[in-house]
Every structure is written in structure tokens, then in C-alpha cells.
Amino acid sequence: MTNISIQDLRALQSTLNAAIDVYDTSPDPDTTAKINKAAKAIAAVTRGTSTDFIGLGFQPLENTVIRIGIDLDLFNIIEENVTLDQLARKTGADPNLLTRILRLLVAIKVLNEASYHVYSATPLSHMFRVPPIRDWMKTTYDTLLPIWQEIPGWLRENGYKDITSLNSNPTKSMYGANFFDALSKDPRRETDFASAMSLQDNIPKVATAQFPWNEAAATFDRSKSDVFVVDVGGGQGQYLARLINEYPAMPGRKIV
């Protein structure tokens, strides 16, 4: 644990308590975001940088085991008190391999181990039952991760120049084509991507509306630009439409 004074902890506690008090009378997404930020600040200083460092190193493995869990349909199969033997029979996976997969899913709180080799669902594992959420995970791992892995080498080879060209970029280096051209050649990944882009319409508001839109609107400066928000998510503007509905007084132009 990082050495931290009780005064600093009390200050962080006060920030969290103040955000919770506001939420009591105004339970909107902006207030939820402030509670989340304050809670993360407390977790960060009490957890310590060593734990954070180790966690960063294992993040790719966490995504990998979730991706395997999706392929094995674990998040649909596991509800309450499902045994290892039952899972092995239903998935066809080797029990020893399955044990290692489940151990990590429990460690990152995607699943719960109710007792030895007996597993149950969590709110997070339930989310992976929603097709757009499941497909977002598949898209990030199968389609976007290879591009991200290409970026360091591409930047080294190109003298750390900004990525501005459609003819020379990490995506084209990885796939031999630009993103949507490459996607169109793989129907499975294209279908997953299209499903993932409808994500905002299928998960709880608290999971998507983390940006403090009210604060941004209050400080919007039209003298710099009349555009308030640009939706570049790759879909058909579903999130922007939802945003305008939730914040009808949002200023400026909105662009898809």
C-alpha cells in the first residue's frame, strides 16, 4: 500500500461523500461519473502503484480469457452453482484447462466461485450475454487489437510521424487495406462490428453516459467552433440520437 496521510484520505472521503450527497437529490449520469471518479481516486492511492503495474501487465491476458469464455458460451451457461464437471460436459473443454480459465475469470470478478469448483454468474458476466456487448468484446479482440499491436512498430519505422494518411497507416500495414475495406472481406468480423456499434442502445445508461455533458455545455465557446459534438463511433448515430434526447438543451451543432 502506498504511504498516504490520514488527512489526504479524509479529503478523498469528503469528495466522495459530497458526490454521494448530490446524487441523493440529483441522480443523473454526471453525478454518477463524479462518484465513480472519487471512488477510483481512493482505490488508486490505497491499492498502490505496484499493484497497478502488475495489473497493467496482465490486462491483455484478462481480455484473452474473456474472449475464450465467449467462445465457450460460459456466460450463458453459468447462472447459479454450476460445477466444473457440468461445464466440462457442456463446453467440451478439458477440465484442467477449464479450471485455469475459470480461475482467472473469478480473479477479475467476471464470475464468482461459490465453493470449490462451483461457479455462479455476476452482474458483469450477465452483460456478456447481451449480443452487442459480447460482439464489442469480440471486435476489440479480433479486429482492433491486431491494429493496436501494429502501432508501436509502425511508428518506429515511420519516425513517429502522425497517422494522417489513408495509404500509410497501421491498419493498412496490418491488413493490407484500410479498416472498412478490410472488414468487408470478413463477413463474421463485419457482422460483429455492426452489432457492436449498436452497443449504446443495449447497456444501462450508467455504463455509457460517463462524460459530464452538462458541464461541457455550460462552458461551450461558440467563438471557437459551432460544433459541440462529433459522433465518430462508426455506427449510424444511435448514440448521438440518444444523447440529444437526454440533453435537449445541448448547444451547437451535432455531427455524425
In a domain, 170, yes or no: yes
CB under 8 Å, gap of 24 or more: what pairs does 12-15 form? 12/38, 12/41, 12/42, 12/45, 13/42, 15/41
Same domain for 120 and 56? yes
CATH of the domain at 74: 1.10.10.10
Query: What gap in Å lies between CA 201 and CA 208, rounded to an integer?
Result: 10
Q: Beta strand pairing status for 118-120 and 112-115?
A: antiparallel
Q: Report the side by side order of strands in the sheet with 82-83.
A: 82-83, 118-120, 112-115
131-139 and 49-71 helices cross at what angle (nearest 10)?
A: 110
In tens, the pLDDT along 13-42 reads 999 999 999 998 888 888 888 999 999 888
C-alpha cell at 177: 487495406
Same domain for 122 and 161? no
Does residue 60 carry a pLDDT above 90? yes
Whose grid coordinates read 461551450?
Answer: 220
Q: What is the pTM of this model?
A: 0.73
In a domain, 90, yes or no: yes
Does residue 127 carry a pLDDT above 60? yes
Does residue 118 carry a pLDDT above 60? yes
C-alpha cell at 23: 446524487
Same domain for 139 and 179? yes
C-alpha cell at 69: 469464455
Of 73, 201, 208, whose CA–CA distance to 138 is shortest?
73
Number of domains the chain contains: 4
**How many helices and strands, by DSSP H and E, does the chain display?**
15, 5
Same domain for 119 and 172? no
In this prediction, what percent of the chain has a pLDDT beyond 70? 92
In a domain, 138, yes or no: yes
Mean of per-residue pLDDT scores for the chain: 88
Choose the final residue of a domain: 100, 127, 154. 127
Same domain for 81 and 145? no
Same domain for 40 and 56? no
In a domain, 86, yes or no: yes
Does residue 234 carry a pLDDT above 80? no
Same domain for 108 and 152? no
Region of 169 please: left (phi>0), alpha (psi -120 to 50) or beta.
beta
Q: Residue 217 in contact with residue 250, Cβ under 8 Å?
A: yes
Same domain for 217 and 172? no
Q: 209: buried, middle or exposed (CB in 10 Å: 19+, 13-18, 0-12)?
A: buried
* pLDDT bucket at 236, cuts 50 / 70 / 90: low
Query: What gap in Å lies between CA 125 and CA 5, rounded to an integer?
Result: 37
Exposure class string for 20-48: b at 16+ Cβ within 10 A, else e: eeeeeeeeebbbbbbbeebeeeeeebeee
Choose the final residue of a domain: 105, 127, 149. 127
- 88 vs 205 pLDDT, higher one: 88
Average pLDDT over residues 168-192: 93
In tens, the pLDDT along 187-202 reads 999 999 989 888 766 5
Same domain for 136 and 190? yes
| C-alpha torsion 112→115→116→121, nearest 10 | -30
In a domain, 111, yes or no: yes
In a domain, 1, yes or no: no
Choose the final residue of a domain: 127, 145, 169. 127
Average pLDDT over residues 134-149: 96
Same domain for 217 and 233? yes
Same domain for 62 and 107? yes
User: Which domain range does residue 213 map to?
Assistant: 209-255
Q: Residue 98 in contact with residue 84, Cβ under 8 Å?
A: yes
Same domain for 58 and 80? yes
Beta strands in the chain (DSSP E): 82-83, 112-115, 118-120, 227-230, 253-255
In a domain, 23, yes or no: yes
pLDDT of residue 61: 94
